[in-house]
Chain A
Amino acid sequence: MSKDIRIKKGLDIKLVGEAEKTTKPVKASSFYVIKPEDFHSIIPKMLVKVGHKVKAGQAIFHSKLDEALLFPSPVSGEIAEIVRGAKRKILEIRILADATQEHHDFGKKEVAKMSGDEVKAHLRATGCWPFIKQRPYDVIANAEKSPKAIFVSGHNSAPLAADLDYVLAGKEAELTAALTALTKLTDGNVHVATKKGGNSPLANVAGTVSHTVSGPHPSGNVGTHINKIDPVNKGEAVWTVTAQDLVIIGEVLLTGKFNATRTIAVTGSQITNPAYVTAIAGASIKDLVASNINLDNTRIISGNVLSGKQQAEDGALGYYDNQVTAIPEGDDYEFFGWNKPIFNKVSTSRAFTFSWLTPNKKFDLNTNTNGEHRAFVTTGTYEEVFPLDIYPMQTLKACMYADLDEMEALGMYEVAPEDFALTEFVCVSKQPHQKIIREGLDLMLKEIG
């Protein structure tokens, strides 16, 4: 049962600094940082103290609400520092890596012979559970509930995103093992969507339902696939896993080692030679970009320009991220910037903005908001870049006035903040859509659960 999904509404933002398809060697980081805020809504309870030695894969904290939800150290080394903020909230756990990495041995498993419960228990014990997220609410999956389906996106359509066909090449064994494990976790289907015309090792794995997608961003967003294939209804849950995390899960199953190594795309106009590097989750960004970056007034982002997180110069790669982007800061005034003709910025209108003349041009966009924050005024612009069968502006407004019934009716169970990244990008009123949706989801999680 293979389906072809064609997305018409959307927008490809073409930027300067796409990664060249070569993997460059970089020196391994000596410091790794785990940020509990990467795991949304989790309150960490530490299992280790400063000075403790840990192996890669060994748990360093668990969720306050669920002792069996373990978060592993990506490397072996010593806990160097636990950075706390207001009310002693844990902001960062810094780990000084050993020169030679030691992995905790979880034992090899033969997935095909395992039951669903065994798979679940093993993934939780090995610290792989945080890779499995759920909709509704876009948080780490609730293991007590069985999902109606599991979705994996094998296509990343975000600006400058890592080409999954490239980074997954040669990982067939791990991917197959992990997908087989996922099929045990649900009574429904495991849906895998890959780029039409691509050559993905994820396509046509036995036991999964393969789909192909085409069209502009967000055609690669898993939220788009869920909406088109099997939307989430009230009371239901679907789980999602990113393709690169499947490799980590697969390796745990095949070798017994937790190895959070990914191929990372280092991209953006401030990067001298954009290319791929291999790095472990939590690695210091300084080591990834080395001397390959222009640091003069630069925004460093872990992730892509639409949904990534801003990092300081000495920041770290996010736990889930497979991309680092560096773009110029836009903290300067522009004379008559609001009415002069604009050729060097992206726009979806044609109001003396001329990006429609050059559809293939790659733009060097900066972080300027290009205008001030306003109330919602224009209509119809979001719908042009929003392929889900949901009313975006009405949903955002429902979140802003916190009407739970309306949020539920309008389809909040189906969405994640990243689904509203493009509407936020095109917003003339410069509203923070992703934040509004995140706060709306948090409210629902708290009130409805």
Chain B
Amino acid sequence: MSLKSKLHDIKEKYKGTKMAPAFNALHTFLYLPNETTHNGTHIKVADDLKRTMNTVIMALVPCLIFGMFNAGYQHYLALGEIEAANGFFGASFWSFDNLILGAWQVLPLVIVSYGVGLAVEFLFAVIKGHEVEEGYLVTGMLVPLIVPIDIPLWMLSVAVIFGVVIGKEVFGGTGMNILNPALTIRAFLFFAYPTWMSGDKVWVHDAVNRDQLIAAGENVDAISGETLLGFYAKSGQELTIAGTNGGSEIITTYGDRAADLYSYWDMFWGLIPGSVGETSKFLIIIGALFLIFTKIGSWRIMLSTIIGALAMGLIFNGVVGAGWIQESSKFFGLMNVPFWQHLIIGSILFGAVYMATDPVTAAQTNKGKWIYGFLIGFISIMIRVFNPAYPEGVFLAILLMNVFAPTIDHYVIQGNVKKRMKRLKVKTA
């Protein structure tokens, strides 16, 4: 008896029982089911939700792999053990040591994210008697990419359980949720464990650990892992860097230090500290092109988010240009960033391509997608500039617009409804 018929027999045996959804979920991963059409259309397109989700995962894989290398690279670079890589193909970046360290840190995040998230999904499917839905396949991949590298795994587990249950299952599962589950998880982490989600210690592997060791009196070098947004937010302030290996102290400003450390190309290629998978703008753009080509991601949302971000950036540049804001203002640093540079610092591109485009939580009408995306970009940069505690607003902006997406759709659809009403009035008049 072949595997196919054996599995078929098990499926028939457990049909209608509580465990059927759990078995079917595993079975359908191996085999496309033998279900046929009844009435209605007798033929169907080749695509199903699994294929759709799988396509998004494939678009994320380059970011994940890059994130592993970058985790190792940032760590060794901060320790001064390797030279800064020169461009995307720099030898000191694509080294085996970087990968080993990165994989050792990142893979547990992936495993915990999928393990915990899918366990919750299976549990709900079995309790509620519906099939296990595919939504978490993408969420589970996104989560490790948008958290700091050293986040404790128990924290991640708690956040994933919260995100899946409160963000999705209470609404009825995939397709019914209002908020993007991955961002719900991110937001939970941010508000529940803020010290682990912001500051200059969490973005490079071992920085927190070393800080604690130093506080305990051990003799190790500190690692600082400020993100670029952090640098820019404080760009006018003075910065003192303790000399390492007997070097003398350097006194500079945050802004100058950022310029010393990273070139625009570093930001574009992604050779900077940040959440695991969001640093490489280059790979995100490749992923975006892939999603647009496969027609899985909405180019309308991606494009309009970028337009919105640029528009807000231009307005801030205008404010600086007009002299309405003093250099001493705490908002000056980020306002002064040239508008186009907002796209290569922070996670606006990652958010636009992989988060804002989630079809369930985004606006659903084509016109609505333009408005929705534009406002995400616009508000992201606004929060980025005006939020002194944590200079990144993308996830907050997307969550906010998730809530407003149905309202946007409502007004777009009212346009269509009004057209119909007008037609009726013309007729009866």
Contacts and interface: CB of A to CB of B under 8 A. Distances in A.
Nearest to B43: A365
A27 B198 CA distance: 82
A389 interface: yes
A432 to B, nearest CB: 5
Interface string B160-194: 00000000000011111000000000000000000
Contact of B43 (A350, A367, A375, A393): A367
Given A327-B43, A353-B46, A375 B31 contact: no
Contact of A350 (B48, B49, B295): B295
Nearest to A377: B175
B173 A233 contact: no
Given A351-B55, A380-B366, A430 B44 contact: yes
B359 A379 contact: yes
A332 interface: yes
B408 to A, nearest CB: 13
B55 A371 contact: no
Nearest to B28: A372
A145 to B, nearest CB: 15
Given A365-B43, A377-B49, A432-B40, A233 B420 contact: yes
Interface string A228-242: 000101111000000
B79 to A, nearest CB: 41
A334 B29 CA distance: 10
A230 to B, nearest CB: 10
B253 interface: no
Contacts of A310: 38-39, 42
A377 B358 CA distance: 9
B110 interface: no
A205 B142 CA distance: 62
B32 interface: yes
A27 B6 CA distance: 46
A314 interface: no
Question: Which of A235, A374, A390, A394 has most chain B Cβ within 10 Å?
Answer: A374
Nearest to B49: A374
B365 interface: yes
B34 A231 contact: no
Nearest to A426: B45
B416 A390 contact: yes
Contact of A342 (B33, B39, B46, B360): B46
A349 B172 CA distance: 27
Interface in B360-413: 360, 362, 364-366, 369, 409, 413
Interface in A80-123: none
Contact of B32 (A327, A337, A430): A337
Contacts of A427: 44-45
A431 B413 CA distance: 22
Contact of B41 (A233, A348, A383, A424): A424
Interface in B53-71: 54-55
- Scoring B32, B52, B172 by chain A CB atoms within 10 A of each residue's CB, the highest score goes to B32
Contact of B423 (A231, A309, A331, A353): A231
A172 to B, nearest CB: 34
Contacts of A331: 34-36
Given A369-B36, A428-B49, A391 B365 contact: yes
Contacts of A374: 48-49, 131, 133-134, 174-175
A343 to B, nearest CB: 9
Contact of A370 (B48, B293, B362): B48
A335 B4 contact: yes
A351 B52 contact: yes
A429 B427 contact: no
Interface string A324-343: 01010111111111110010
Interface in B285-319: 293-296, 298
Interface string A364-398: 01111111111111111101000001110110000
Given A309-B39, A335-B30, A236 B364 contact: no
B46 A345 contact: yes
B26 interface: no
A411 B131 CA distance: 33
Contacts of A146: none
B15 interface: no
Contacts of A345: 45-46
Contact of B174 (A368, A375, A424, A425): A375
A377 B55 contact: no
B128 interface: no
B18 interface: no
Interface stretch (A28-36, A56-64, A163-171, A300-308): A300-308
A329 B172 CA distance: 33
B175 A375 contact: yes
A134 to B, nearest CB: 17
B51 A333 contact: no
Contacts of B30: 335-336
B329 to A, nearest CB: 42
A84 B291 CA distance: 53
B43 A338 contact: no
B54 A339 contact: yes
A338 B175 contact: no
Given A371-B47, A378-B359, A410 B32 contact: no
A337 B359 contact: no
Given A333-B31, A410-B413, A377 B52 contact: yes
A342 B55 CA distance: 13
Interface in A41-91: none
A348 B134 CA distance: 20
B91 interface: no
Contacts of B55: 349, 351-352
A350 B55 CA distance: 10
A346 interface: yes
Contacts of A333: 4, 7-8, 31-34
B46 A372 contact: no
A391 to B, nearest CB: 6
Given A367-B36, A375-B173, A409-B420, A425 B49 contact: no
Nearest to B134: A374
Nearest to A304: B42
Contacts of A367: 36-37, 42-43
A312 B164 CA distance: 45
A150 interface: no
B5 to A, nearest CB: 9
Contacts of B413: 391, 394, 410
Interface centre among A351, A421, A432, by most chain B C-beta atoms within 10 angstroms, is A351
A409 B43 CA distance: 31
Contacts of B293: 350
Contacts of A308: 42
B135 interface: yes
Nearest to A350: B294
B46 A369 contact: no
A375 B172 contact: yes
Nearest 10 pairs of A and B residues by beta carbon: A371-B48, A337-B32, A375-B175, A345-B46, A333-B31, A338-B50, A334-B32, A351-B55, A347-B46, A379-B364
17 contacts: A301-B42, A335-B32, A338-B50, A346-B43, A369-B36, A370-B44, A371-B50, A372-B35, A379-B359, A380-B298, A380-B369, A381-B295, A391-B365, A394-B409, A410-B417, A425-B43, A430-B48
Interface of A: 13, 231, 233-236, 299, 301, 305-310, 325, 327, 329-339, 342, 345-353, 355, 365-381, 383, 389-391, 393-394, 409-411, 421, 424-430, 432-435
Interface of B: 4, 7-8, 28-52, 54-55, 131, 133-135, 172-176, 293-296, 298, 359-360, 362, 364-366, 369, 409, 413, 416-417, 419-421, 423-424, 427
